[in-house]
Amino acid sequence: MSPWWQVDLQDVYYISQVNITNRKDCCTDRASKVEISVAKEDGGKGTVVAYQEGAIGDFKSFTFATVQARYVRITLRDKQKYFHLCEVEVYGQSTPVDDCADKPCLNGGVCTDGVNSYTCKCTQGFYGSNCGKAVVNLALNKPASQINNYDEETNDWTADKGVDGNADTDVYNHHCFHTKNSMSPWWQVDLQDVYYISQVNITNRKDCCTDRASNVEISVAKEDGGKMTVVAYQEGAIGDFKSFTFATVQARYVRITLRDKQKYFHLCEVEVYGQN
């Protein structure tokens, strides 16, 4: 019952293929329910790496994820039969393949070798299995709004100045947004689609009044008027520049609020980084 044949490779190898040449003069169908199992030690627990239900025919090549093994066993699983084969070939190598040798991780990504696989840890600003996709500023030139405008007559320092791509920190050069003195003043950008976002960068005004940007709260929503979810917060002033990073969330609307503050609110550039 369940007859088997085994080969001792006399050392542990990394193997990934077993080829079987079957008897052809007669009785070819006896080689059925063929199971390939492996072990590192004689008498050790075998691990099944391949199996075929039914007859294998004249020849069968079994390929499988690379495993370390010294002993390779072929068994007719749950069969009461004669067992005969004419040749068995086991293919592998003494050392594992370095899957990082060809430097598959792009843009400075760090490669970690696996067994017939690799993983890339991407540098900031890139993502994807090979770090080949760039995280982009999704907020650039997108529609923006704010609680109110500092100067209703001249319409200077409007919300759109926060995403115009110009990070000039002198508010009088008109590349910053500016609200009236308000309680919990806010500014918001509509990314115009739902994205996976994980970072918001803020460039503050520097010509004066930098400390007004304090108790800064970042919140997001998928729908206009939908419930905002807070993803980041800093108590106190943020200084000249602040990068908020957080667990990736899906969002279309990104809002910045001075939580529980009665203040003017002005920033000179807001960048929202993410991907589709």
- Going by C-alpha positions, the residue among 78, 274, 74, 77 that lies closest to residue 189 is 274
Residue-range domains of the chain with CATH: 4-93 (2.60.120.260), 97-134 (2.10.25.10), 137-275 (2.60.120.260)
> What predicted TM-score, i.e. pTM, was given to this entire model?
0.60
What does the chain look like in DSSP terms, one character per residue? ---EEEEEEEEEEEEEEEEEEE--SS-GGGSEEEEEEEESSTTSPPEEEEEEEEE--SEEEEEEEEEEEEEEEEEETT--S---EEEEEEEEESS---TTTT----TTPEEEE-SS-EEEEPPTTEESTTS-EE-EETTTT--EEES--S-TTT--S-GGGGGSS-----GGGS-SEE--SEES-EEEEEEEEEEEEEEEEEEE--SS-GGGSEEEEEEEESSTTSPPEEEEEEEEE--SEEEEEEEEEEEEEEEEEETT-EE--EEEEEEEEEE-
Count of CB atoms situated within 10 Å of the CB of 221: 19
Per-residue pLDDT of the chain (276 residues; tens, 9 = 90+): 889 999 999 999 989 999 999 999 999 888 899 999 999 988 878 899 999 998 999 999 999 988 889 999 999 998 888 999 999 999 998 877 778 988 999 999 999 987 668 899 988 778 888 998 888 899 999 999 999 999 877 778 999 999 999 999 999 999 999 999 999 999 999 999 999 999 999 999 999 999 999 999 999 999 988 899 999 999 999 999 999 999 999 999 999 999 999 999 999 999 999 988
Contact 18, 65 (CB under 8 A): no
d(CA 91, CA 183): 73
Contact 47, 116 (CB under 8 A): no
Contacts of residue 25, defined as CB under 8 A and 6 or more positions apart, other chains included, come to: none
